[in-house]
């Protein structure tokens, strides 16, 4: 009985050592995969995909060829509440994307002037102006109640998405 157990453990150790060799090496992942080299990048294709300036340049070009979509003072040295601002930004972007369905021509730009939250959005002329005005008023009212601060939406419209290049 003891010898069979010993043999089983020996077998197990042989098997595990084989698995630990370079050929079949598995690790246990405890965190979510970040895929930092695939984030916010549109891969080059056949040449029929139109991309805007924002989509054409990758995150490493921020600060070199692209500006920042969201500006506030919390990221400066010695300032507080950076995380709260980031969470607000994420919510605002999803909100705008959902409220103005298929109308957004480009990313939403968020600016903060003291207490005031300014959301600059570029839209395609898909809806009637009166519908746009209603949605602007609705968004401003709702967001100002959520965040307890004045919210202004500055909207610009273009006929169609501004194409920078084709990938």
Partner 1 sequence: MAASISHPALSSLRKINCNTNGIFSLISFSRRISVSSVLSTSAVATEKEGAGRGVRGQRRSKRQAGEPRTERMSVDQDWTAVYPTAAPFKPSAVPLPVRMGYPVKRGVPPAKKGNLELIKIPNFLHLTPVAIKKHCEALKQFCTEWPAALNSDEKCMKHFPIQVQSKEFVSAGLSVRNPDARIVTLKVKLSSLNLDDHARKKMIKLSEERYCKDTDTLTIVTDSCPLRQQNYDYAMYLLTVLYHESWKSEAWEQEKTRADMEEYEWEDSPSQKNLLDTLLRMRPTGAKDEEEGAREELLGQPAVQEYRDTLLKLKNEGETEENLQKYKEAVKKLFNI
Q: Cβ distance 147 to 134 under 8 Å?
A: no
CB of 119 to partner 1, least distance (A): 10
CB of 51 to partner 1, least distance (A): 11
Q: Cβ distance 52 to 162 under 8 Å?
A: yes
Q: In a 10 Å sphere around its CB, with 0-12 CB exposed, 13-18 middle and 19+ buried, how is residue 114 labelled? A: exposed
CB of 62 to partner 1, least distance (A): 10
**DSSP-assigned letters across all residues of 91-128:** HHHHHHHHHSTTTB-SPPEEEEETTEEEEEEEEETTS-
Residues 80-139 that bind partner 1 (CB under 8 A): 80-81, 84-85, 105-107, 109, 111-115, 118, 120, 122, 125, 128
Residues 6-35 that bind partner 1 (CB under 8 A): none
Name the residues that contact partner 1, by CB under 8 A: 52-54, 57, 65-69, 71-74, 78-81, 84-85, 105-107, 109, 111-115, 118, 120, 122, 125, 128, 147-149, 154, 156-159, 161-162, 164-165
């Amino acid at each position: 009985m003891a010898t069979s157990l010993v043999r089983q453990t020996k077998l197990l150790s042989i098997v595990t050592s084989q698995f630990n060799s370079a050929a079949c090496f598995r690790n246990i992942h405890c965190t979510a995969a970040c895929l930092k080299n695939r984030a916010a990048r549109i891969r080059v294709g056949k040449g029929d995909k139109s991309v805007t300036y924002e989509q054409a340049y990758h995150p490493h070009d921020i600060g070199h060829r692209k500006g920042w979509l969201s500006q506030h003072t919390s990221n400066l040295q010695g300032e507080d509440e950076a995380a709260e601002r980031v969470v607000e930004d994420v919510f605002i972007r999803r909100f705008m994307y959902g409220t103005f369905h298929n109308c957004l021509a480009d990313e939403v730009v968020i600016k903060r002037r003291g207490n005031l939250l300014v959301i600059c959005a570029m839209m395609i002329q898909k809806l009637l102006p009166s519908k746009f005005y209603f949605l602007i008023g609705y968004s401003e009212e709702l967001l100002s109640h959520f965040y307890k601060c004045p919210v202004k939406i500055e909207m610009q419209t273009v006929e169609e998405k501004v194409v920078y290049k084709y990938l």
